[in-house]
Chain A
Amino acid sequence: MTGVRPLPALGVGSVIVMLAALPVAGLPAFYESFLYLMFYWIALATSWAILSGFAGYFSFGHAAFFGAGMYATAHLTVKMEVPFLAALPVAAGVAALLAAGIGAVVFRLRRLRGELFALLTLAVTFIVATIILNTPIDGGAGVLTSSVPLPRVISSSPSGTLYLLGLIVCVGSLAIAWWVSRSRLGMGLFAIHDDEDVAEVKGVPTFTYKLLAFTLSGAIAGVVGGVHATYVGFLTVSETFGITVPLYVVLMSVLGGARHWAGPAVGAVLIAASLYTFTSGDQATIGRGIVALVLIVAILLLPEGIVPTVLKQLRRRPVTRATPPDAPIATQAAPKRSDAPVLVVQDVRKSFGGVHALRGVSLEVRQGEILGLVGPNGSGKTTLINMITGHFPLDGGSIRIDGQEIGHQPAHAIAQRGIARTYQIPRPFAGLTVLDNVRLAAMFGGTGLSGAALDAEAHHWLAFTGLAGKAASLPAELNLHERKFLELARALVTRPRLLLLDEVLSGLNPAEIDSAIALIRAIRDQGASIVFVEHLMRAVVQLSDRVVVMNEGATLASGNPREVMRDPRVVAVYLGKAHVA
């Protein structure tokens, strides 16, 4: 949440003022119209990207919201003689409602693959189109909107007014996209884009956020449609709901870079400019072909889009980065170790398609202890962690943290109660920097921090895990050891009551293991209780206060590590009966 820097803000402001003044300067109508179309495409593509670019749910149904706004405006102004400006909010509302309705159903689907979402939205578009075509809203004859009186602002010509409206909508949608991309909502959407399951576990309310973004995206498209209704002068269903709008917004966004707030705008300018440069007859045909060719080349060579690629090039240059503020972290007084249980797991059962993964597991984790959870491969350790974090629903039993039942809560709610986990194979958000990965976890992990305090907290834990120098890197630039530590930093930044570590040591070399062990001790000293799943027994015995041994989905033994690991039953599980001496 960095503030707006004064100089660029001034630049942006003056460009907007200059653009707004153009009609007064007596710009020929042709250029007004040309620029209006730019604004129109920028706004439309930007609005599409708020869900589809940021969260990665590609919609082919943008024409439905755009068209709903268009026909709502036309219906209100032409048939009910509502003033144009009063009709626009209604247009936004209708489109938003449509998006929210679709989202509320579709986002509940268990496994919504990307292409299914794209096709569902496309199908909805055709249905909306058919309904409008066959009801008095259109009736097949089209709606004439050229006689709708437009408010006269600054310029006296209707084209000047449209130009200004287009500018306002364009600037407005860019501002919203900019704001979203920097907000909590945007962070959540980016995380959903990269790994929705992890996002949920880190505390992002994924369903709500997707729904919000879809609604916002639809509302903006509705307003754009409302303005465009008067620009075209005559509405037909086939033009409005055709394939042009959904495909062009996708192409523009992808060309410019759908994940960046400014990407769709850049793509829109490039594509729209080349489209409208060729306007007549044969030229138009060839022009479109050339645009398509350029597009193919651009997508093949810059799959991430223009804006992200350029930004990446810029970032490669050495930049003098401001050193992070000296972290004024309130060091928690480490709660003493005690026998009071933090987590109580009772008789938890889970099966997958007839296979009993957990057959009644009970264990408790006490305040401030490190509990080693061990057992052969497939004994149910990771499944148990997935149950505690709410990734899978319980088949039976109960899970309580601090006495409160969490067994049936959604994952993001459990995360906000102070349970954090790491993944055996690190699952960072690939599109977010190391710092943002940690900030996101803090933002949604129930810390209640924001602004500078949140940044400071994130920097503190990056330093704690030795990643301070990598804050601006993307996860792909880290090695396995660093990615594992990033997992830790993301978990620690939430100051969890209970930390679940899933094989943090596997794949590390001996020196890295020693540093990780030191780190885990330091974490415990900060006051967290730790459940430590690990196969590297040397480390388990060194670190754990107690161990619980699991076998075949049940607990086999528990207690002091050195005693438990000599228990004949445990030895038999690991080494076979022959070894029990």
Chain B
Amino acid sequence: MLLELRDLHVAYGDAPAVWDVSLDVDAGEIVSVIGPNGAGKTTLINAVAGLLRIRRGSARLDGVELGRLRPHQVCEQGIALVPEGRRLFTRMSVEENLEIGGYRPAARASRDASLARVYDLFPVLREKRLQDAGLLSGGQQQMVAIGRALMAKPRIMLFDEPSLGLAPAIVDDMFDIIASVRAEGVAVLLVEQNVGKALEVADRAYVLEQGRIVASGKPDALTKQPRIREVYLGV
């Protein structure tokens, strides 16, 4: 198992807490965590990315306990985050954002190859490579955020609400890209409100409600579960 979460408890400030979450992501797998706003999805992903401290339980990547690392060391293990709201470095150029993605020493050596790969994936970014990232459209910013994470040459990518605030047509593109990321052998942990899309792309999925996993399994099986309707529609 690549990423293994066991009885994870995270509670920090006013962020929704997460209780006793156990979850696995295998190499080359796409795992979605769905659930309504406030269920703790972002908390969960930020804890894995090292931005929030783990109170109890364990999070292991290939056996390495992530909870003991300092934030900047988590990336070294091969975890890259595409954060909610993109959080680009808006006053830096597109290319500089990508370079920050490839900051970790293991990724620096292949800077040029990685850049070329990102630009091939998102040709529009090559045109805008010298523009400030803050001036791009929402969809283009999301591309930079994904490209930035790819530059780190991760073993697993964490996507936090990649569809948020994007037009429907662009959302479709984003999920195609997520699928293509997996095709290159990178595992994906995806947190998403857009259930349809998240289940379509996933190999397995978990349903998070009020900080706890309430259902999990193959997308087809989950779709048929009344629990999902209840969680999302209340009826």
Residues of A within 8 A of B (CB): 354-355, 376-378, 425-426, 480, 483, 503, 505-510, 513, 535-542, 561-562, 565-566, 570-572, 574-579
Contacts and interface: CB of A to CB of B under 8 A. Distances in A.
Interface stretch (B10-18, B21-29, B57-65): B10-18
A535 B235 contact: no
B210 A576 contact: no
Q: Is the interface of B mostly helix, strand, loop or mixed?
A: loop
A377 B232 contact: no
A566 B39 CA distance: 22
A193 to B, nearest CB: 20
Query: B interface, how many residues as a size bin?
Result: 20 to 34
Contact of B14 (A425, A566, A576): A425
Given A507-B14, A507-B16, A536 B165 contact: no
Given A576-B195, A578-B196, A540 B234 contact: yes
Residue of B14, B197, B223 ringed by the most chain A CB atoms within 10 A:
B14
Given A538-B230, A578-B196, A506 B165 contact: no
A571 B16 CA distance: 25
B234 A507 contact: no
A405 B223 CA distance: 46
8 contacts: A355-B138, A376-B194, A509-B211, A535-B37, A538-B230, A574-B195, A574-B232, A576-B195
B123 interface: no
Contacts of A575: 195-196, 228-229, 232-233
Contact of A541 (B37, B194, B235): B235
A578 B223 contact: yes
Nearest to B230: A538
A537 B38 contact: no
A483 B161 CA distance: 27
A578 B16 CA distance: 30
A579 B196 contact: yes
A317 to B, nearest CB: 29
A245 to B, nearest CB: 37
B174 to A, nearest CB: 14
Nearest to A538: B234
B193 A537 contact: no
B36 interface: yes
B36 A535 contact: yes
Nearest to A572: B196
A577 B14 contact: no
Nearest to A484: B14
A574 B233 contact: yes
Given A507-B40, A537-B233, A540-B234, 12 more contacts: A506-B16, A507-B14, A507-B17, A513-B210, A537-B230, A537-B235, A565-B233, A565-B234, A574-B232, A575-B195, A575-B196, A576-B194
B191 to A, nearest CB: 11
A377 to B, nearest CB: 5
Nearest to A425: B14
Nearest 9 Cβ contacts at the A-B interface: A576-B196, A506-B38, A537-B234, A541-B234, A507-B16, A535-B36, A535-B37, A565-B233, A565-B235
